[in-house]
Amino acid sequence: MEPNFSIAVSTELYPLVAMHRACYFFIDRCWIWISPNDGSLVNINFLKKDIELCENKIKLEFSNELIEQAVRYQIDQETGEIREAIISAALKEALPHS
């Protein structure tokens, strides 16, 4: 299967989770799969669902989406465990008063 274009992304600079999430936001417009590249690089392969779609636009949006998801990942790292603690506490005590 040949992609229309690929973007090489460094796994040292971007967390893999962020890459997956960024891809998720384009699956309505493209078929996407990730394949290995040299060293720490991976290829994110795009096959347009609609031939009219502008390749450049997708590349630019994807670059920003990667950053967006990397930031969200960073926030999640800092707050994820706290969120679990809060929800456990909230639901644990959700027993009716006797």
Partner 1 sequence: MDWALPESNFIESDSYMLLPFRYKLLNTPINKCLLVSDAGEHFLLAEDDFRDFISKKLDVTCEPYKSLEAKNIAYTGNDPMLDLIATKVRTKKAYLRSGPSLHEIVVTLRCDHSCHYCQVTRKPLSNVDCDMSKVTADHVIRNILESPSRDITVEFQGGEPLLNFSIIEYITHKLDTKKEEWGKSISYTIVSTLHHISTDIINFFVKYDFNICTSIDGPEWLHNSNRQCAGANTYKKTVNAIYRLRYHIESRKISALTTISKQALGYTKEVVDTYIELGFDSIFLRPISEYGFASKMPSGKAYSICEYLDFYIGALNYILEINRSGKFFTEVYSSILLSSILTPYSHGYIDLRSPCGGGIGTIVYNYDGGVFTCDEARMIAEMGNSQFKMGHVSDSYNNLISSDAVYVCMNSSITECIPGCDECAYQPFCGECPVQSLVNNGTPISNRKDSVHCKKHKTLFDTLFELLYSSDDNKQILNTWALHQAEIVSAHPRC
- Per CB under 8 A, residues contacting partner 1 are 21, 24-25, 27-28, 71-72, 74-75, 78-80, 82-83, 85-87, 89-91, 93-96
Planar angle of CA 29, 49, 15, nearest 5 degrees: 45
Tokens of 87: 């929800």
Question: In terms of CB distance, is 40 or 79 closer to partner 1?
Answer: 79
Residue 6 DSSP label: E
**34: number of CA atoms within 13 Å, CB side?**
15
Cβ 51 to partner 1 shortest distance, Å: 20
Question: In terms of CB distance, is 39 or 96 closer to partner 1?
Answer: 96
Residue 73 DSSP label: H
Question: In terms of CB distance, is 54 or 67 closer to partner 1?
Answer: 67
